[in-house]
Amino acid sequence: MVTVDRLVKDYGTLRAVDGVSFTINKGDILGFLGPNGAGKSTTMKMITGFLTPTSGKATVDGFDVTENPIEVKQRIGYLPESSAAYPEMTVVEFLTYVAEARGITDKEEVTSRLADVIVKCHLDSVKYRTIENLSKGYRQRVGVAQAIIHDPQVLILDEPTDGLDPNQKHEVRKLIQAMAKDKAIVLSTHILEEVEAICNRVIIIDQGKVLVDETPEAFKARKPGATIDEVFRDITNKNILA
């Protein structure tokens, strides 16, 4: 579904992403981890077509992100770290706008998609409220809803449970797991327990390079008896010292 081949992104003399390569298959929930400034968000922005790579290649469902940007964006649902929305719109108005912008023009289909994501993201009680008057948790749910309203084949979610309480986090995790059967999902998070809870692969990137690409079980086995947080710190601290 997604192939990343030696992606590089330079900002002047700073190399933010340095030869990153990996593949994501249908059914994968990939935990994409790394310290702040490691290159995670830059990599995801290149995959989604929001940034142009300095070199290397990324494809989504066989379409090159640089040569076929529209086809790629049609197949991706993206939740950025700070999910943008029009604060003066109600939830229903905003999601309707996103559906139409995604090319869903049939009114019955728009209504059906809207009803589906409102239920999935537990937004029924706030659907007629303006986004500026929502709590951070509800705004985050609106962000997830806009990412899935067009039923994309690939989901790229940057901190999808940020600002949610434990019950809300559980609901979002269940939703991600339910969708993974027929999608490829990239989940960037600082909450390492989410990797154990729902991911079947983990990639750690630091200083723009991939350090780890394996199952969560193999990752934890690197340091028997340690928590996943401790293994993460051990790997990334070694990389800093190196």
Query: DSSP character for 126?
Result: G
- On whether both 147 and 158 belong to a single domain, the answer is no
Domain enclosing residue 140, as ranges: 83-151
Report how far residue 25's alpha carbon sits from residue 152's, in angstroms, rounded to the nearest whole number.
14
- On whether both 136 and 161 belong to a single domain, the answer is no
- On whether both 161 and 71 belong to a single domain, the answer is yes
Of 103, 126, 151, the last residue of a domain is: 151
Total tally of structural domains belonging to the chain: 2
- On whether both 161 and 63 belong to a single domain, the answer is yes
Closest-CA residue to 192 (of 4, 10, 33): 33
Helix (H, G, I), strand (E, B) or coil at 65: coil
- On whether both 184 and 225 belong to a single domain, the answer is yes
Residue 89 tokens read as 């719109």
Of 105, 124, 151, the last residue of a domain is: 151
How confident is the model over 194-229, as pLDDT tens digits?
Answer: 888 899 999 999 999 999 999 999 998 999 988 888
How confident is the model over 133-161, as pLDDT tens digits?
Answer: 998 888 888 999 999 999 999 999 988 88
- On whether both 158 and 232 belong to a single domain, the answer is yes
Report how far residue 52's alpha carbon sits from residue 47's, in angstroms, rounded to the nearest whole number.
9
Q: Tens digit of pLDDT per residue, the chain (242 long)? A: 899 999 999 999 999 999 999 999 999 999 999 998 899 989 999 999 999 999 999 999 999 999 999 999 999 999 987 777 899 999 999 999 999 999 998 999 999 999 999 998 889 999 999 999 998 888 888 999 999 999 999 999 988 887 778 888 888 888 888 888 889 999 998 888 888 889 999 999 999 999 999 999 999 899 998 888 899 999 988 665 55
Length of the chain: 242
Residue 101 CA: distances (Å) to CA of 37, 45, 150: 32, 19, 10
pLDDT score recorded for residue 133: 94
- On whether both 37 and 118 belong to a single domain, the answer is no
The CATH number of the domain where 241 resides is what? 3.40.50.300
